[in-house]
Every structure is written in C-alpha cells, then in structure tokens.
Structure 1
Amino acid sequence: MVLLPVRPEAARYLILAVVFVCAACGLVYELELVALASYLIGDSVTQASVVLSLMVFAMGLGSLLAKRLRCRAVVGFAVLEAVLALVGGGSGMMLYAAFAWSGGAHLVLVSFSLAIGVLIGAEIPLLMSLMQRVSRRDAEGTVADLFAADYVGALVGGLAFPFLLLPWLGELTGALLTGAVNAVAGGVLVLWLFRRDMTPRTRRRLVLLNAAVLALLAAAAALVGDFEAAARRAVYGDQVRVAVRTGVQEVVLTGRASQPPDLFIDGQLTVRGSDEHRYHEALVHPAMNGPHARVLILGGGDGLAAREALGYPDTVSVTVVDLDAGLVRLARRDPALSALNGRAYDDPRTEHVTADAFSWLRGARRGTYDVIVSDLPCPGTAGGKLYSMEFYGLARRVLAPGGRVVVHAGPARAHPGTYWTVAATVRAAGLAVTPYRSDGDHGFLLAGVGHPPALALDPAVPRLRSPLAERLPGYGPAAEHGRPEGAWPQPSTLVRPRYAR
C-alpha cells in the first residue's frame, strides 16, 4: 500500500473513473479513424474492418508490453496517457494531411491504428497495478470492476462521437479535444493521487510532459481551420468557391467564377460543370420516352437530373428524394450551382424530400410514378442497400403501369463486374433491363415491367446540348461489349452484397 491523499476506497473510485474516461477516449479514437478513413478512402466496411482488427490485435501486443512497466506502473501510466493523448488526438490531422499532400492515407491509417491499439492495450494492466496499490480487494473483484468501468466508458464514447463530437466539433477538433481529456485524466490521477510515490524531479518532468501535450493539442485545435483550408487547397486546387460540411458529407464547389462549377462530394468529383450535361442527358432522356407526367429522382440533390426532366412541358411533377438537405440548399441558393441546374428548385413542379431513398420508398404509394431516376453514387461508394434487389423491388412497386426506371450503375467498361451485377440485381427484382453505356464510360440501365424498354428519345425531347440523338443507337451495343460470358452474375441483396471491386 502507498501513502494516499484520500481514503483507499475513494482512491479506488477515482481509478475506476479514470478507467471510464480512458475507455471512452479510446473508442472515440477508433471511431474517428474509421469515419475519416471511410470519407477519404471510401468503402466503409473495409476501413472499419481494417481499423478495428488492427487495433484489437495491437491491444494484445500492448497488454504484453505493459508487463515490462508494472514495476514502474505510476510513471509508466502517466507517460502512456500523455503519448496516447498526443497520438490519438492528432491522428485525424495526420491522416487528413497524408491524404491531402501525398494522395494516399493507407500507410498512415495502418500505423496509427497499430500505435493507438498498443497504447490502449497497455492501459488496463497498468491500471490493474495501480488498483492493487490502493485496494486490498481480491484480484477477481478488481478485474471485474475494471472491465465494468471500461465497457461502460466505451459505451459513452461510442455514443458521444456520432451525437456530440462529430456534429458539434467535427472530426479533427473532436479528436483533439478527446486527446486533451485523456491527458488531463491520466495526469490528475498520477500527479495528485500518487504524487507521494514519485520524487519531486519525476513529478516536475511529468508536469512538463503533460503541459507540452496539452499545449500542442490546443495549438492544433486553434489551427484546425487554417489546416483544413490548406488541405482543401491541396486536394481541390486554389479555385475553391464553396466548402461546407452538411452533416451528411463534405460538399465543395470549385472553378473560376466565369465557368460552371465542379462539384466534389466527400473528396470525389461528382459533377464536372463543363460537360455534366452529357451524363445527365444520357441518364434522364431515354427514360422519358413514354408517359412522364410524374417523375421521381432518387439522389440527384444537385438538381441537374431534375433540370432535364423539367424541360418537358407535360411533366407535371418532379420529386427529388435526397438525404442531404445541405446539398439541396446549396443547389437552390448558390448562384453558380443554381444557374447550372436551371434553378430547378424554383420551379413549382419540383418537390424536395429529405429522406433516405430506401426508407422513403417503403412508405410511398403504389403505382405513383411514370419515371424513376436512380441518380445515386457508384455502387461500392453508396450504401449497399441502395443497389440491392430489395431496393429495386420497392422502386418497381411505386412504378405506374408502363413506367420506366433508369439506374446509374457506375463505369461499365472500367468495372464491368459491378455494372453487370447491378443489371442482374435490377433483373432479379422483376424488371426487364436494357443496358447502355454513354460517352465517358457512364453505365446506365433502362428498365421496365414486361419487355425491355426501347432505347430511344421522346419525339418532343427538349433541345439537347450533347449529340445524344445521334449517338444513342450505339450506346446499347457499347454496353454489351463487357457482358460476362455464361450466366448472369448473382444479384446483390441486403444480406449478401456483391459489389466488391
């Protein structure tokens, strides 16, 4: 037993409180790395698997390495928490910097996942040693108390990240604040509760170490805005017009003031303003060859697909279902983007619904829409459920008799396996499919109930900016070049997603 400033029972509760805080901070570091890696690299399932599996493995290594520190558990724990606060708190900025200035973040992601895992894994053995110094309870009871506090702390950290830190502070500032909390918790425990267990010289060194860590974290937090601006310029160039975090994704508009803007979503070029009409005309107009009074657009919050549908005077309504109200707000209010979409959201025929497309379709009325346009991110980027057989089954349910569905299915030539898997999935939902590939390797699927729809344009098609009418007859054969031999691929379902690239 050591000489303590409080009763042993109070010291025991203080250690359990620090266990709680450390567990919460550790889980925030993990979630922050997963979220940022998913945003920067894509494929959230893979990034979560990599980060979590590496961290769990490294935690085992950390537990083994902590045995060497048990003879100096007090000082070892203080140094460990200071290093963990700095590494975990700064991991987001380092990952973002690697992506912005080198173009790759995989090595940094792996390195920080391992480093944070080793440091977290060493915490419990050292805290166990500290607990045994202040409490005479049996080892089994002590272990149970430590793990109970650890698990509850992980729960709080896991809930705090998406509901508090991420929406209020953002990923970078949230991680830095978590690091500061981590450093303070470790420093208070050692420098106050176990101060008599150290020499004055050791105490001074630990005070200086924690002060330096907190100063670095505070300086980084103060510079987050400038850092993000510099990183954004490194990624997008010097012509960034607008950059906003909408709560769903990062939306950036770039380009000269005299030119149509380019639209980036989560770091990926989504719309090239100079030639986006080639994509949107090829997406929308073949589906409008027939009844098109009521049009449903799933995704397409930028308003560009809506612009094409509204070009038909006999279109009665266009409903845009997009999860990101911030993108729609930008498409409505930004002068450059609203000019590009023809001020589609100012048209009284346009209605916007902020909702997840899958959930919204479940509640939509049967047989409502003549045309359904699925203008969603490429398979593998969007959630798998938005390219599942169940999703297309719901779309078929709300399709009016004689209606058509058109699906953006990703690059047909660059990723033929993914493209034809989408085709097989649409087909498995009971829709007959007409594949076609436009200029720029944009792969589409035109579908309807019964027979495959003809790949043609409505006689009253509005004036087009691209040579779509001349080239459309060749778009069908262009898609067929990549068709896999033999049987169709297996369809993708909610429980068996098949969009691995």
Structure 2
Amino acid sequence: MSETTAHARPRLPVPPRAARFFVLLAVFICAACGLVYELALVAIGSYLLGDTITQASVVLSVMVFAMGVGSLLSKRYQARPALSFAVVEGLLSLVGGLSVLLLYGSFAWLSAAAYQPTLVLLAFVIGTLIGIEIPLLMTLIQRIRKQEASEAVADLFAADYVGGLIGGLAFPFLLLPLLGLPKGALMVGLLNAVIGVAVVLWLFRSDLTRLAYAGLGLGLMFIVAVLGLAYYFAEEFEVDARQAMYRDPISYAERSEYQEIVLTRSLDGRDVRMFLNGDLQFSTLDEYRYHEALIHPAMDGPREDVLVLGGGDGLALRELLRYDDVESVTLVDLDPAVIELASTDPVIRELNGDSFQDPRVEVVHTDAFQWLRDNPDDFDVIIADLPDGTDVGTSKLYTVEFYALLEQALEPEGRVVVQAGSPFFAPDAYWSVRHSLEEAGISVTPYNVDVPTFGNWGFYLGASTSEGEGAPDLTLADDAPELRFLDDALLRAALVFPVDRREGEVEASTMMHPKIIGYHQDRQAWRGY
C-alpha cells in the first residue's frame, strides 16, 4: 500500500470530529513537552553555572531561531506528514528527554568550557524539531477535516498555547518537586514519544505502508526502552557525574528547593567542605580564618541585638555566641535544608558548636531583601554573609537599595560587616560594593585577609553616616575571645591592598543597573588559574 497524497482524506478509525480532538490533544501534549525541554535547559544551566539570565537568553534565542529553520525544513516533509510527524516526535523525545543528562555529563566529565557548545547544540536541535512539527500538525488537522487555513491555524495555536501554559506550570510545581530535573525530563520524553507516535500509528495507519508502520512501532519501542533505562539509572548517573566535579569523595548530597547542597570529605577525614550549587562555602581546614575576619571586627561596640543575613551553616553564629553579652541573634536564610543539615550533621554540628540550639538564636526562612523591607526592628550589629552577586537572584543583595535597607535597620552606633568577594580575583566587583554601601549612607573601611581555600578575600566594616561619624576603625574589642587567626596586628595589615588590586573606575550597583554581575563576569584575574 502506498501513502496517500497530501490532498487526500485519510481513512480514519474514528469519526472526523473525534480524530480532530485527538490530534489537537497531541498538539497540546507536544507543546507542553516542548516547553518543558526549554525550561529544563535553562534550569540545568542556572544550577551548574548560576547565571540564569545568560542561560535563558542563550536557550530562548537559539531555540526561536532554530524553530524558524525547522519551519522552512518542514516543506520537504509535507508529502508524508503523518510519517514525518511521528519520526520528528520520536527524535524530539529522545533528544529532549536525554538533554539534562547529556548536559550534566558534559559539564562533569569534559569541562565547563564544553558545556556551552553542548547547550547551544541541544537547543538548536530541539528548536529545529519543534519548528518542523508545527506545520506538519497543521497539515494533519486540515486533512482530518476540511477547514480553511485560518481555522486550522486558530485550532493549532489555541491547543499549542494552552499546552505551553500547562507545561510551564507543571515544570516547577509538579515535575521538579516530584521527580527532579533529570527524571522529570526523561518522563516528559516518554510521554512525548508515546503520544506523538501513537497518534500516528492509530489515527493515520492507513497513510502508512506496512514497512513504515512496523518501523514506527519498533522505533517507539526502542525510544521507550532507551528512556526507560536512562530513567532507571538516572540517580546512579547523577551520583557519578556529581562526584566527578569534586576532588574529594561526596559524603552528602541533596537538591533542595533552592540549590544543590554537597558535602565532601577527604580520605583522611580532616577536610570536610560544603558546596552550594558547586561553589565552596567552607573547608574545615581554614573556615575559622574567614569567620573570625567576618565577625569580630564588628563586635567592638554595642552588640546586644545581632542580625545575620545568610550564614546558614551556623559558623558565623558560633563566633557571635562567644560574646556573653549578646542577647539575641536573628538569622535570616532562604533555604531550610541548609539549616537542617547544619543542625543535624555531626561534623557540622561540632564545627558550629551546636549554635542553632542556643536559645538566643531565632531562625527565619525567607528572602533577605524582602525580610528587610518588612523589618520593624533595629540591630546593633548586622552581618551580611551572602553569596556573591554573580547573577540576578543574588545581585540584588549587593545593591544600593539593599544596603539602604541595612542602614535603616542599624542602630545609630551600630556596625555592619559585608563579605564582598575576592579583591584579587574580582577586584571591580569588590570595589563596586564600596560605592553601593556609601551611596546607601554607610561609611566603610575595606579590609582583606587570606583564606587558603578561597584565596584573598575582602570585607567591608561599615557604620551609618547619619550620626556624622566617619568610617569605623578596624579593631578588636578589649574583651574579644581568644582567636586562632585574627589579632590587631593582622587587622592593621588587612587594611593594605596591593597596587595592582586597588580601587579602579567602577560604579555602584542598583536594582535597575546590576553592575556587579558584569564585574564578576569580567574577572580578568581568573585567567591562568
């Protein structure tokens, strides 16, 4: 049996009205699957690289361009629309379903440099296949029931847009919480293959030769088998890929609602490290250097009420609670999973001195920016121990607007300390923080110390300019506890910056102009390291 021409009406196993319903259902489901693939590519990029805007821009622009290419290519397949559509859906389900694992694997086993070309290639292939599928679906709709082209387009895009809505909502609220990113993409790939190919095998079997029918059936079984096996081994693959990204064996890993949390432990057990989305948070070998430098200069003054923004590992709390006259500490951290780990893991509990069990500590799980907007209280000391402002989500925590909220929450004689990244590896980003603080009404003293696992690291000690006082002195309190790293002599040295890392021509960062993102991306000093 030869295939019918493109203009002939197929012999359908159901009435045309029912057939049209099933084709539009296929459009709906395929559109939802396509949007999930798109969101998955953006999500895996933001997880691995942290730059959500860049990843979304690359994926969206490449896919839209590729859809245009696919639409042009679809002209070649209009003679056999049913067979072509089934083949396209099969390929789309394979590439889209496996895309997350392929990207994760390229990042883990090849290099970060190989990730971006792989992302562009996958986005282009998926976009091209989606671009081919849409005109083929319109042809199938017209063949089932004689319609004007405008009516067929209206039906097609109505189903397509509603499917996109459902796919867009299902991704964050259903697939990610229940299945996670790799398994979620694979499950969508399975659904895409079964629906896309099955509709053709059922509704348009009269259009197919016996060889084509058998080939599609075997192809569907192959795709289901490949995606099923990938689903079965997805967790093992993820564990192996994750381990490849870290020097030491992983002792704990969890993907929370907000980030990937990983603990590694050296073979001798001396070096335990925490990573959030691949970024080092601390090493047990030298974390005391960072936290002593962060906390103790701010404690030379009033300190009854303290606010900590970030610091979910409890290590900053440990240093604060060494002062007996600290009456209350409010810690604001977005991710409850980090607090839970720091409160239950034996190694971290020992490291932070069980600081979360101290009755003086109150923990709030929310966004630091929003919390400050609603905060009615003033604090003697504010500690901003927040992740670097490398993307849109974190850059707002290094803006004039954010620091203005800090200044409003500071007692007249209070002090604020901000971790500001590396003056060596990202000098423009570091000095931009100074301008942002000063524009917000906080006079600052910049200082830097060496933390071996981080490198050279910088901070700002600040005070409100509303009282007419200048930048605060970088000193330790007379009653400061015995410290392992910090003393007055080291603090005097911490005020000195080398000539090649002194302040250049940089600007403050704001919500509307997040300059700090660009300054972090232009880290010239990273080259060669």
TM-score interval, smaller chain: over 0.9
Q: Secondary structure at the match of 2:245?
A: helix
Q: CA deviation at 1:481?
A: 5.6
- Contact preservation (8 Å) 1:409, 1:443: yes
Return the alpha-carbon distance in structure 2 between the equivalents of residues 238 and 456 of structure 1. 37
Matched, 1:469 2:488: yes
Deviations 1:201-242 (Å, cap 9, x if unpaired)? Answer: 211110000110011101000001111111122112452111
What residue is the counterpart of 2:400 in the other structure? 389
Moved more, 191-200 or 8-17: 8-17
Deviations 1:434-487 (Å, cap 9, x if unpaired)? Answer: 11111131111111112211111111111111144331111122278634346x
Q: Secondary structure at the match of 2:481?
A: coil
Structure 1 residues 169-208: aligned runs within 5 Å: 169-208=179-218
What residue is the counterpart of 2:423 in the other structure? 412
Deviations 1:269-306 (Å, cap 9, x if unpaired)? Answer: 22111101111111111111111111111011011111
Give the partner amino acid of 2:417.
V
Moved more, 251-260 or 216-225: 251-260
- Contact preservation (8 Å) 2:399, 2:509: yes
- Contact preservation (8 Å) 2:66, 2:127: yes
- Contact preservation (8 Å) 1:435, 1:479: no
Return the alpha-carbon distance in structure 2 between the equivalents of residues 303 and 217 of structure 1. 42
Give the partner amino acid of 1:167.
P
Q: Secondary structure at the match of 2:218?
A: helix
Q: Secondary structure at the match of 1:191?
A: helix
What residue is the counterpart of 2:475 in the other structure? 456
What residue is the counterpart of 1:493 in the other structure? 510
Give the partner amino acid of 2:165.
L
Give the partner amino acid of 1:492.
S
Structure 1's 215 and 342: CA in aligned 2 closer, same or farther, altered over 3 A? Answer: same
Return the alpha-carbon distance in structure 2 between the equivalents of residues 375 and 342 of structure 1. 18
Return the alpha-carbon distance in structure 2 between the equivalents of residues 425 and 433 of structure 1. 10
- Contact preservation (8 Å) 1:263, 1:273: no
Return the alpha-carbon distance in structure 1 between the equivalents of residues 498 and 343 of structure 2. 35
Return the alpha-carbon distance in structure 2 between the equivalents of residues 210 and 173 of structure 1. 19
Return the alpha-carbon distance in structure 1 between the equivalents of residues 231 and 487 of structure 2. 51
Return the alpha-carbon distance in structure 2 between the equivalents of residues 421 and 296 of structure 1. 23
Give the partner amino acid of 1:185.
I
What residue is the counterpart of 1:96 in the other structure? 104
* Gaps in structure 2 of 5+ consecutive residues: 1-8, 522-529
What residue is the counterpart of 2:284 in the other structure? 273
Alignment counterpart, residue 311 of structure 1, candidates 308, 311, 322: 322
Moved more, 324-333 or 421-430: 421-430
- Contact preservation (8 Å) 1:443, 1:479: no
Give the partner amino acid of 2:483.
L
What residue is the counterpart of 1:298 in the other structure? 309
Q: CA deviation at 1:383?
A: 2.0
Matched, 1:65 2:73: yes
What residue is the counterpart of 1:442 in the other structure? 457
Matched, 1:376 2:386: yes
Q: CA deviation at 1:260?
A: 4.7
What residue is the counterpart of 1:484 in the other structure? 503
- Contact preservation (8 Å) 2:428, 2:504: no
Q: CA deviation at 1:144?
A: 1.2
Return the alpha-carbon distance in structure 1 between the equivalents of residues 130 and 434 of structure 2. 46
Alignment counterpart, residue 3 of structure 1, candidates 11, 16, 19: 11
Alignment counterpart, residue 273 of structure 2, candidates 262, 267, 273: 262
Q: State the percentage of identical aligned residues.
A: 49
What residue is the counterpart of 1:284 in the other structure? 295
- Contact preservation (8 Å) 2:292, 2:486: no
Alignment counterpart, residue 355 of structure 2, candidates 303, 325, 344: 344
Structure 1's 468 and 235: CA in aligned 2 closer, same or farther, altered over 3 A? Answer: farther
Alignment counterpart, residue 354 of structure 1, candidates 358, 362, 365: 365
* Gaps in structure 1 of 5+ consecutive residues: none
Give the partner amino acid of 1:164.
L
Return the alpha-carbon distance in structure 2 between the equivalents of residues 386 and 480 of structure 1. 28
Return the alpha-carbon distance in structure 2 between the equivalents of residues 481 and 278 of structure 1. 24
Q: CA deviation at 1:55?
A: 0.7
Deviations 1:243-288 (Å, cap 9, x if unpaired)? Answer: 1112211111111473252101111222111101111111111111
Q: CA deviation at 1:9?
A: 1.6
Give the partner amino acid of 1:184.
V
Q: Secondary structure at the match of 1:433?
A: strand
- Contact preservation (8 Å) 1:165, 1:174: yes
What residue is the counterpart of 1:330 in the other structure? 341
When normalised by structure 2's length, the TM-score is: 0.92
What residue is the counterpart of 2:443 in the other structure? 432
When normalised by structure 1's length, the TM-score is: 0.97
Q: Secondary structure at the match of 2:420?
A: strand
Q: CA deviation at 1:22?
A: 0.7
Supply the RMSD in Å over aligned alpha carbons.
1.4
Matched, 1:127 2:137: yes
Return the alpha-carbon distance in structure 1 between the equivalents of residues 153 and 205 of structure 2. 24
